[in-house]
Structure 1
Amino acid sequence: MTKRGKQASGSPSGVGTSIELFTGGGGLAWAMHEEGFRHLLAVEFDKRACATLRENTAVAYDPAADQPMSLDDKWPLIEGDVHQVSFANFAGKVDVVAGGVPCQPWSLGGAHKGYDDPRNLWPELFRCVRETRPKAIIAENVKGLLRASFKPYYDYILNELRVPFEQRVEGEDWADHNKRLEKALKVAPSDLTERYDVKYKLVNAADYGVPQQRWRVFVVAFRKDLGLSEWEFPDETHSELALWHSQKNGDYWKRHRREPRPDLVPDVIPPLDPKKPREPWKTLRDAICDMPEPIGDKVEHPDWKHHYGWPGAREYVGHTPNDLDRPAKTVKAGVHGVPGGETVLRKDDGSIRYMTVREVARVMTFPDDWELMGPRGEQMRQLGNAVPVGLGRVMAKAVKDALAGGGKAGS
């Protein structure tokens, strides 16, 4: 049984099956699990992330063992290079292939080599799709994928997802392959199970109830024989405007028993639209208000796992702390050079400190009993690379509803 026990999916066996690629520390995988998807396989290369998965809910994949039949079963995990993994045994058994495709080739903080970067793993996602023919695909990536300099290749990614069986041949330039894909798309398919209807959207996690401003691109595809070409992404549920109104009318401050801060709200704000009701953005204070202060540097709190102080928090130009009464800044993986204060917060007395690992996990909407393995830096890196669980659940639910015949996810 997983550490958090069986999830409420409507059935012990779940709502469908999935394969998780590039699983990392488990954000999207746990979101999928909470929405009732039963993982047949998870694949991850990083040893610390694999240790985290095993500590929580995974077990080494055994090809001779029976596949998981219940949400209580542990996730079969392959620790290794996805290039070396065959998915042929799962053909016809997978409802969803999901994964946060590694971001380094596209990140503004990295070398952003894109399609020339050996860490570009989109081709491995396409291979998994060819070998399993899932009903749906969920892929997440950084905002940098939409930069103008990468747009031609991004269009190519979407085309290859639309016709993944029109494979690139050895030695073929991606641009030449894209021409073949565009040509194939003009011809009616003889087999609808080899084509996918593809949608993508740039989303801010804060707009879906995550206490963090985090822009990410989601790509969702449905197998063409399912007739879901009209599917749309779910509408936003939260807004900055609603937060401003909550702070201006005092509701926010009463809830937190704090004196109002007029500096946070513009002098003039537009009225709320009754036709598009939104909840207020969740703030860092909302996320951690029930947690005690860490009791000391490098001293674990007796009642809270991964909740200890860390020395050396600083503030300077370009490196400013998080404001408790705003959503947190984007949690980063720590591979982008000097951070911009993403893991520093300003307390109510004006002093600053580093956020604890557990507080960052709260901002990433992981459950409080989710354990992260490795030293602090590795734990933070896993969190920074993850999909926020809350945002992952929104996307997983939208796909689940569509597969169940719910039609459009948006309203």
Structure 2
Amino acid sequence: MAASERDRQLEVVEICAGAGGQTLGLERAGFRHRIAVELDENAARTLCRNLQDVLGYSEEEAKKAVAVGDVADPETWNPAEYKGVDLLAGGVPCPPFSIAGKQLGANDERDLFAWAIELCGDIQPKALLLENVRGLSANRFTAYRQHVLDRLHEYGYIGDWKLLHANEFGVSQLRPRFVLVALKREYAEYFDWPTPHEEEPPTVGELLADLMAGNGWEKDQVDAWVKQASDIAPTIVGGSKKHGGADLGPTRAKRAWADLGVDAMGVANDAPKKGWRAPEGVPGPKLTTAMVARIQGWHDFEPPVGVSPSTGGEFRWKFHGRKTSIYRQIGNAFPPPVAKALGVAIRKAIHQEGERRTLVENTDRVLDPVYKLLRGLDRPLTVDQIIEKLAKQGTVLEQPEVERRLNHLSHDFALTMTTRSNGAIAYSLGEFKAFIGQDDHQRHDLFTQLRAKIS
């Protein structure tokens, strides 16, 4: 690669950008945002403000770089203007795949994963980065993931999935994220997943000691709390507009917080004052949004090049909106340190740095053999025929496993069942149910009806 090309600052288009967790990480990895698209107005205002205050954009550049609205609505932005951008990135909505939800996948009006794959095919970036919840890695979605990899292969990309844990990249939180990275073949040969840090992240107590003491709480009380908060945090749950307010998660998470001496039943406006003592039955103080942001990895002692740090060497990402909105923005974000690690790895691949490796065609890996078999045929097969054909290909599946996979397929694909004269049911695979931009898809009506509750 020519030196001039290597010196050029890489550009990114980010969809479903939220309040900027991934934005900050990618900027620190050396990417500049051509545009960031976000549905929530408060999050978009947060993003626009911090592009200026933290990342050094001019007011005009920041306004141009943030688009507010439905990312799939052509009136919000024009993807055709960004063809050939270096990176397409985003954290598309999690509820379609969340274990805490109904896992509706392609039938959820918030599902934009398949649409993002088609967007990648349209604008042809050098690389694609999409992150989501751990639930997408479950067996329930093997065919969905297989479809994604196959589709990317058709568009000229080598894609791969990996489950990354935020605590392995310096974040004081158990936060698994399922990440898809895909690159054009000439860059994929240079991509390696980022290496986890050797050192452990600080405990919640170590991380938040100064913030807990910031409103006058006595030193002996703070020290006792720090000693109890001797582990990293459970996953911060931002929730959605459909459910819940600003609290720290479901029952199991609340118990984990209680073990750390944290009251997870809400979020405080301020740190404890002098003389504060936990009421009977309450495990300790509530966290403030500033504390939650720090646990999410938003604190940063290493500003981007050219940006002056604020007093004390730390700059702060400022959030727009009321407490519940701010908490949701923080809790739904991709931790900046993880985004930075991925951004650095992708940047190196685009610059073709490091050792070139022999590619294993990741798209040839069979995640769901039943899906692959039915997708390649134009006639229906019974369960017995599926078992027989897979066995000839070297894959041994028993009847219950085949039936389970067929059941999963029926959620995300049109699965036609035909009863034969002997009573056996034969299956054929139809179209993918997910929204990929169709004008007549049910997503449009559902999105309009539920617009105020979608986040």
TM over 0.5: yes
1:284 and 2:204 aligned: yes
Q: Which residue of 1 aligns with 2:238?
A: 333
Which letter maps to 2:202?
K
Unaligned runs of 5+ in 1: 1-9, 60-67, 164-193, 238-277, 298-320
Give matches, 1:5-404, under 5 Å. 15-57=9-51, 73-74=61-62, 76-85=65-74, 86-92=78-84, 94-163=85-154, 194-224=155-185, 226-229=186-189, 231-237=191-197, 278-293=198-213, 295=215, 324-335=229-240, 339=250, 340-341=253-254, 345-346=260-261, 351-367=283-299, 368-404=315-351
> 1:404 offset after TM fit, Å?
1.7
CA RMSD of aligned residues (A): 3.4
- Whichever of the two has the greater Rg, that structure is 2
CA gap 1:108/1:294 in 2 versus in 1, 3 angstroms? farther
CA gap 1:152/1:296 in 2 versus in 1, 3 angstroms? farther
Q: Which residue of 1 aligns with 2:412?
A: none
Deviations 1:252-294 (CA, angstroms, capped at 9, x unpaired): xxxxxxxxxxxxxxxxxxxxxxxxxx21233212322333435
CA gap 1:408/1:26 in 2 versus in 1, 3 angstroms? farther
Provide the C-alpha distance between the structure 1 equivalents of 2:115 and 2:29, rounded to a whole number of angstroms.
25
Which letter maps to 1:281?
P
CA gap 1:77/1:326 in 2 versus in 1, 3 angstroms? same
Q: Which residue of 2 aligns with 1:184?
A: none
> 1:378 offset after TM fit, Å?
1.1
SS at the partner of 1:120? coil
CA gap 1:395/1:227 in 2 versus in 1, 3 angstroms? closer
Unaligned runs of 5+ in 2: 218-225, 263-276, 300-314, 358-455
SS at the partner of 2:210? coil
Which letter maps to 2:166?
A
Indicate if the aligned counterparts of 1:58 and 1:77 stay in contact, CA closer than 8 A: no
> 1:161 offset after TM fit, Å?
2.4
Which letter maps to 2:196?
E
Indicate if the aligned counterparts of 1:232 and 1:408 stay in contact, CA closer than 8 A: no
> 1:47 offset after TM fit, Å?
1.5
Indicate if the aligned counterparts of 2:191 and 2:345 stay in contact, CA closer than 8 A: no
Indicate if the aligned counterparts of 2:52 and 2:59 stay in contact, CA closer than 8 A: no
SS at the partner of 2:159? strand
Provide the C-alpha distance between the structure 1 equivalents of 2:19 and 2:136, rounded to a whole number of angstroms.
22
Which letter maps to 1:123?
A
Deviations 1:101-142 (CA, angstroms, capped at 9, x unpaired): 110100112222011111110133123312321111111000
Deviations 1:71-104 (CA, angstroms, capped at 9, x unpaired): 9943611101111132101213x10001111101
Indicate if the aligned counterparts of 1:38 and 1:71 stay in contact, CA closer than 8 A: no
SS at the partner of 1:393? helix
Provide the C-alpha distance between the structure 2 equivalents of 1:144 and 1:357, rounded to a whole number of angstroms.
26
SS at the partner of 2:67? strand
SS at the partner of 1:103? coil
Which letter maps to 1:47?
E
> 1:230 offset after TM fit, Å?
5.9
Indicate if the aligned counterparts of 1:14 and 1:70 stay in contact, CA closer than 8 A: no
Provide the C-alpha distance between the structure 2 equivalents of 1:346 and 1:227, rounded to a whole number of angstroms.
47
CA gap 1:280/1:222 in 2 versus in 1, 3 angstroms? same
Deviations 1:9-35 (CA, angstroms, capped at 9, x unpaired): x99x96301101010111001111111
- Larger RCO, structures 1/2 (Cα 8 Å, 6+ apart): 2
CA gap 1:160/1:69 in 2 versus in 1, 3 angstroms? farther
SS at the partner of 2:95? coil
Which letter maps to 2:234?
K
Indicate if the aligned counterparts of 2:88 and 2:120 stay in contact, CA closer than 8 A: yes
Q: Which residue of 2 aligns with 1:271?
A: none
Range 209-218 or range 13-22, more displaced: 13-22
Which letter maps to 1:236?
P
CA gap 1:110/1:58 in 2 versus in 1, 3 angstroms? farther
Provide the C-alpha distance between the structure 2 equivalents of 1:409 and 1:77, rounded to a whole number of angstroms.
36
Range 284-293 or range 108-117, more displaced: 284-293
> What TM-score, normalized by structure 1, do the two folds share?
0.65
SS at the partner of 1:325? coil
Which letter maps to 1:53?
L
Range 118-127 or range 372-381, more displaced: 118-127
Indicate if the aligned counterparts of 1:364 and 1:388 stay in contact, CA closer than 8 A: yes
Provide the C-alpha distance between the structure 1 equivalents of 2:58 and 2:353, rounded to a whole number of angstroms.
24
> What TM-score, normalized by structure 2, do the two folds share?
0.59
Indicate if the aligned counterparts of 1:25 and 1:50 stay in contact, CA closer than 8 A: yes
> 1:220 offset after TM fit, Å?
0.8
Which letter maps to 2:237?
K
